Amino acid sequence: MKVNLFQKLLKELENLTYTQSKQAEDVLHKKCSLENLEDVTGHMESCPHCQSKSFYKWGVRANLQRYRCNSCHKTFNALTNTPLARLRHKEVWIDYAKDVIEGKSTRDAASHCEVANSTTFRWRHRMLKIPTEIKAEHLHGIVEFDETYFLESQKGNHHLERKPRVRGGKATQRGISKEQTAVLIIRDRNGNTADSILETSNKETLSEVLIPLIDKDTLLCSDKKTSYTAFAKKFGYKLETINVSAKEHIRDGIYHVQNINAYDSRLKEWMKHFHGVATKYLESYLGWMRLLDREKDITARQLLAVFAGRGLSYQPLMRT
Ligand SMILES: [Zn+2]
């Protein structure tokens, strides 16, 4: 909230009745109290060390309820063994989760949450790990796929193996090379999305990525490309190729690659917020995009629950 609006709000608070003040107090208490972090992450059901369901309360530390296990006697809290364990400034995590949804850069999020840049940088990379594991395992019906490219970036690496490139530069060669990384994106018409970073893009590599995701009777749609046709022919899949460069867009009313192209545009647009993503983190960012794209109405609290996700606790967010 902008400073002047906040000042105005504070002034307005003076006009609240006693009952209204109590209601406002409740809201603020909920927002500030870290009791509610457990509301967000889910109440403890078992010991994260040994899975025993027998444990008891064991004081409060760093604003988090601690527990002690009756079986292994170790202590734990709601964040033990999650990517959020031992991170500080919990009080602004909800604000930070909002920044993530809005696609703010680590720097902008740091200034919004009033913490150091190094803090939001650390959060980003801890929290990023989780959505990497949330990927569609099976795609149904008509499945579109395509390759998209990301410029190789050694951002954050102080020993560059090549001359630094001007930000937003272009690769000199097309296709997979030292200059760019290819990602195969696969998406069905229900919005289930999977992706895979490709080392090469021949029919064998495509088969390794695609076959575990689809059934034999899946109807594939792609751009016209020799390796795609070769894959379909060799492994016996029905593939409709759309000649996009010849301005073909849709055939028989159902065969097109518009979903995958639209997803790719959203992905590229969203990636721009981060001013170049280091290649080593590309997979994490892809996971994050899949999650945010799928859960368009996700709230900051739900996202925080995903970040603090332990085991299956974030699965309800996924549709099948
Ligand atoms: Zn235990």
Q: Write the pLDDT tens digit of every residue in 34-48.
A: 556 777 777 788 998
Q: How many CB atoms lie within 10 A of CB 239?
A: 18
Query: pLDDT, tens digit, for every residue of 171-230?
Result: 666 666 667 889 999 999 988 899 999 988 788 899 999 999 999 889 999 999 999 999
Across 251-273, average pLDDT? 91
How close is the Cα of 55 to the center of ligand 1, in Å? 8
How close is the Cα of 64 to the center of ligand 1, in Å? 18
User: Does pLDDT of 56 surpass 70?
Assistant: yes
The pair phi, psi for residue 43, each rounded to 5°, is -70, 150
Nearest Cα residue to 238 out of 251, 247, 229: 229
Cα-based distances in Å from 31 to 53, 91, 93, 127, 182: 29, 8, 11, 21, 42
Q: What percent of the chain has pLDDT over 90?
A: 38
Quote the pLDDT of residue 196: 92
- The answer to whether the CB of 194 falls within 8 A of the CB of 188 is no
Rounded to the nearest angstrom, the gap between the alpha carbon of residue 71 and the centroid of all alpha carbons in its chain is 35
How close is the Cα of 63 to the center of ligand 1, in Å? 21
**Rounded CA separation 138/160 (Å):** 39
**Rounded CA separation 185/263 (Å):** 9
**Superfamily holding 138-284:** Ribonuclease H-like superfamily/Ribonuclease H (3.30.420.10)
Quote the pLDDT of residue 156: 59
User: Does pLDDT of 30 surpass 90?
Assistant: no
Quote the pLDDT of residue 3: 83
How close is the Cα of 49 to the center of ligand 1, in Å? 5
Query: pLDDT, tens digit, for every residue of 66-85?
Result: 999 999 999 999 888 888 88
How close is the Cα of 78 to the center of ligand 1, in Å? 13
Cα-based distances in Å from 205 to 29, 36, 200, 245, 282: 54, 46, 7, 24, 19
Quote the pLDDT of residue 315: 43
How close is the Cα of 46 to the center of ligand 1, in Å? 8
pTM of the model: 0.76
User: Does pLDDT of 240 surpass 60?
Assistant: yes
How close is the Cα of 67 to the center of ligand 1, in Å? 10
Quote the pLDDT of residue 311: 39
User: Does pLDDT of 313 surpass 90?
Assistant: no
Query: pLDDT, tens digit, for every residue of 131-165?
Result: 777 778 889 899 999 999 988 777 655 554 555 45
Quote the pLDDT of residue 176: 62
Quote the pLDDT of residue 320: 38
**Rounded CA separation 293/64 (Å):** 32
Q: Sorting pLDDT into bands at 50, 70 and 90, what band is 295? A: confident
How close is the Cα of 72 to the center of ligand 1, in Å? 4
Q: Sorting pLDDT into bands at 50, 70 and 90, what band is 62? A: confident
The overall average pLDDT reported for the chain is: 84
- The answer to whether the CB of 78 falls within 8 A of the CB of 68 is no
How close is the Cα of 76 to the center of ligand 1, in Å? 9
How close is the Cα of 45 to the center of ligand 1, in Å? 11
